[in-house]
Chain A
Amino acid sequence: MTNSDNAIEIRNLTKEFRISRDGAKTLKDFLVRRHTRAQKHLVLKDISLDIRKGETVGLIGVNGSGKSTLLKLMTQIIYPTSGTVETAGRVTSLLELGAGFHPDFTGRENIYFNASIFGMTRKQIDGRVDKIIEFSELGDAIDEPIRTYSSGMYMRLAFSVAINVDADILLIDEILAVGDQHFQDKCYAKLLELKDYGKTIVIVSHALDQVRALCTRAVWIYKGTLRLDGDPAYVIEAYKKQSAIDHKEEKRVAHENGTEKYKGVVFIDSPADFSHVRKGGELRISGWRIADSDNFDFILSVNGKRLTDISPVERPDVISVYEEEYAGYIEDRAPGFSAAFTPDMAGELSIEAQIVIDGKRIAGKQITVTVE
């Protein structure tokens, strides 16, 4: 450690993985490997990073960017190919919940197993066991073997131990996917409490809103290098922009090579399917549509007759749901649509909305309303 204010110091870290075609490692593979040069994959390139005590840092990046590997290197589960990682104090990782749990032992006994993996002594665990049990909300079930637990109970117990072991540094991979909403809220509150308490927290997450809300700093890992480091709002914005560009480019190549087909989603919010409308009144048709192409035709028709006067509608709710899947395609073209139609005779009306690319129907939605 060059600076005593630092909780984690990473210097010129590079990590390579050797890629083996299958998991099996036998003596034969070992002998043969000398002849066939093993393929190497550079996961992290020359990363230097200081994380100060008390900081809450979000590591962001797309899948395969190396952010989870970086987290693993911080826990010393794996070691760098070159460079150094140093940590100050007890490190707890929520990478593996319930490490060392044995199904035939009771919840209480397993608290001891699990907490001891984090390097706690019996005395320290004794002083904390009631708090852990209380947090897990398991009640009397704590003295039952954990093989009788539901998966939710299991995770609750595991999370309670991990978050209550009094670590100085907490490493979390994809938080708050544990238990029901109530328990998740509780975990979130506990994290805020630990944060206020001055613990150092490093979170790897895809949930950018969580990173924005919880973290004081965001670090963006892009293709194995440290791309941007700073205020979460700023870093996340830059990350989103880059992701959109990359995603678009990736899709374009995939579509060109024919490895992937175009896809899209159409929905008609109003009128509702099988609803009744009045003859002569204005019928407003609204909904949204998205597709992974910049050049798609949107066709809205009533009883086979195409409507031409369609106005775009901003739909932030739709964007927030699809911003990852359709990154790069929904930012510039508002996904919502709205059009008016006046039915002039009683009977069935078939309303159809479809997305067409190169003359091919990609997605569609059809509803029927009755005019009376």
Chain B
Amino acid sequence: MLKEIYKYRELLKTNVKKDIRGRYKASVLGVLWSFINPLLQVLVYAIVFPYLMKGAADHYVVYLVTGIIPWTFFQTVVNQSTTCIKSNSGIIKKVYFPRIILPLSAFFSGLINFFISCIIIVIFCLGFGIGISWHLIFLPVIAVTEGLFGLGLGTIFGAIDAYIQDTEYIVNFLLMMAMYGAPVIYETSIFPAGSRIGALIQMNPMTHIMDAYRDIFMDHAIPDMPRIGIVFAVSLVLCIAAAAIFQRMQKGFAEQF
């Protein structure tokens, strides 16, 4: 499979290019929308959340930005790779190419988009007086780990979605659950130590990803590498399993549409 992906590397490249530049090309603000969207979300939470929860974190706006932008990255990768088979049904029906290129493109375009969005995080960190530090060199490691986790999940969901169209709605729901099950808009400290929900949240791989982002952006600290290492290993195994499942299921894609 890797050999075939290499052979079709140009397709992967052009797909990523099309994804990034093409998505918003017809809209007035263009690519800016991929940054405006998470910022608008930040705005909503920043206004509403302090009323719901007493004693919101210091620099809550920066806390939100460092949570929602990475979360949006994850969500985009999962969503895109879930729907990529169906949304490309036109070419799948007509041309042979390794179908795995489609979720892979979602992964790469999401990653590139995220790295660009990180400029916004940095602007917020500087603007709110938190500043930045050398710890940002860990950013690619965390982002790739997060992206691979999303890719693994999305590839499996995408293969299923070609056969059962309910999948994408279930995935939307699961993503929402996962977001509230990770410290994206709240801090884990709001749950009392030893509580069942607190333990459950620690089992969510995204919790460790979010913590790592806060470490490097807000606390200027080295992220907990063993924890990231475990998430990375889990993601990698997930991706390999996903590739095997996808490869088996892809033979029937063209007949499903």
Q: What's the minimum C-beta distance from B200 to chain A, rounded to whole angstroms? A: 27
Residue on A with the closest CB to B163? A25
Which residues of chain A (49-77) have a CB below 8 Å from chain B? 72, 75-77
1/0 per position for B27-63, CB-CB distance to A under 8 A?
0000000000000000000000000000000000000
Contact of A100 among B91, B163, B255 (CB under 8 A): B91
Are B91's CB and A96's CB within 8 A?
yes
Q: Is B9 among interface residues, defined by CB-CB distance under 8 A? A: yes
Q: Is B190 among interface residues, defined by CB-CB distance under 8 A? A: no
Residues in A whose Cβ lies below 8 Å from that of B8: 116, 119
Known pairs A75-B95, A116-B14 / 12 extra A-B pairs, C-beta < 8 Å: A18-B255, A24-B165, A25-B164, A25-B165, A75-B96, A79-B252, A93-B94, A96-B90, A99-B90, A102-B22, A116-B11, A117-B91
1/0 per position for B156-183, CB-CB distance to A under 8 A?
0000000111100000000000000000
| Nearest 3 pairs of A and B residues by beta carbon | A96-B94, A116-B10, A116-B11
Which segment of A120-128, A221-229, A347-355 sits at the interface?
A: A120-128
Q: Is B128 among interface residues, defined by CB-CB distance under 8 A? A: no
Contact of A30 among B94, B96, B163 (CB under 8 A): B163
Residues in B whose Cβ lies below 8 Å from that of A96: 90-91, 93-95
Q: Interface residue count for B (Cβ, 8 Å)?
A: 30
Q: What's the minimum C-beta distance from A103 to chain B, rounded to whole angstroms? A: 9
Q: Is A183 among interface residues, defined by CB-CB distance under 8 A? A: no
Residues in B whose Cβ lies below 8 Å from that of A99: 90-91, 94-95
**Could you say which of B10, B251, B254, B256 has the most chain A C-beta atoms within 10 Å of its C-beta?**
B10
Q: Is B132 among interface residues, defined by CB-CB distance under 8 A? A: no
Residues in B whose Cβ lies below 8 Å from that of A100: 14, 91, 95
Can you name 14 A-B pairs with beta carbons within 8 Å?
A23-B257, A25-B256, A75-B96, A76-B96, A77-B254, A79-B251, A93-B94, A93-B95, A96-B90, A96-B91, A112-B10, A112-B14, A119-B11, A119-B97
Q: In the complex, A77 Cα to B251 Cα: how many Å?
A: 8
Residues in B whose Cβ lies below 8 Å from that of A18: 255
Residue on B with the closest CB to A147? B26
Q: What's the minimum C-beta distance from A57 to chain B, rounded to whole angstroms? A: 19
Q: In the complex, A76 Cα to B251 Cα: how many Å?
A: 9
Are B255's CB and A17's CB within 8 A?
yes
Q: What's the minimum C-beta distance from A234 to chain B, rounded to whole angstroms? A: 33
Q: Is B135 among interface residues, defined by CB-CB distance under 8 A? A: no
1/0 per position for A2-43, CB-CB distance to B under 8 A?
000000000000000110000111110010000000000000
1/0 per position for B9-31, CB-CB distance to A under 8 A?
11101100010011001100000
Q: In the complex, A79 Cα to B255 Cα: how many Å?
A: 9
1/0 per position for B92-133, CB-CB distance to A under 8 A?
111111000000000000000000000000000000000000
Which residues of chain A (63-113) have a CB below 8 Å from chain B? 72, 75-79, 91, 93, 95-96, 99-100, 102, 104-105, 112-113
Q: Is B227 among interface residues, defined by CB-CB distance under 8 A? A: no
Q: In the complex, A105 Cα to B17 Cα: how many Å?
A: 11
Q: What's the minimum C-beta distance from A92 to chain B, rounded to whole angstroms? A: 9
Residues in A whose Cβ lies below 8 Å from that of B90: 96, 99
Residue on A with the closest CB to B169? A27
Q: What's the minimum C-beta distance from A175 to chain B, rounded to whole angstroms? A: 16
Residues in B whose Cβ lies below 8 Å from that of A112: 10, 14
Residues in B whose Cβ lies below 8 Å from that of A79: 251-252
Q: What's the minimum C-beta distance from B95 to chain A, rounded to whole angstroms? A: 5
Q: In the complex, A122 Cα to B166 Cα: how many Å?
A: 38
Q: In the complex, A91 Cα to B7 Cα: how many Å?
A: 14
Are A77's CB and B256's CB within 8 A?
no
Q: What's the minimum C-beta distance from A260 to chain B, rounded to whole angstroms? A: 32
Q: In the complex, A104 Cα to B21 Cα: how many Å?
A: 9
Known contacts A75-B95, A75-B96, A102-B18: A26-B10 contact under CB 8 Å? no
Q: What's the minimum C-beta distance from A71 to chain B, rounded to whole angstroms? A: 11
Residue on B with the closest CB to A72? B254
Are A78's CB and B95's CB within 8 A?
no
Contact of B166 among A17, A27, A113 (CB under 8 A): A27
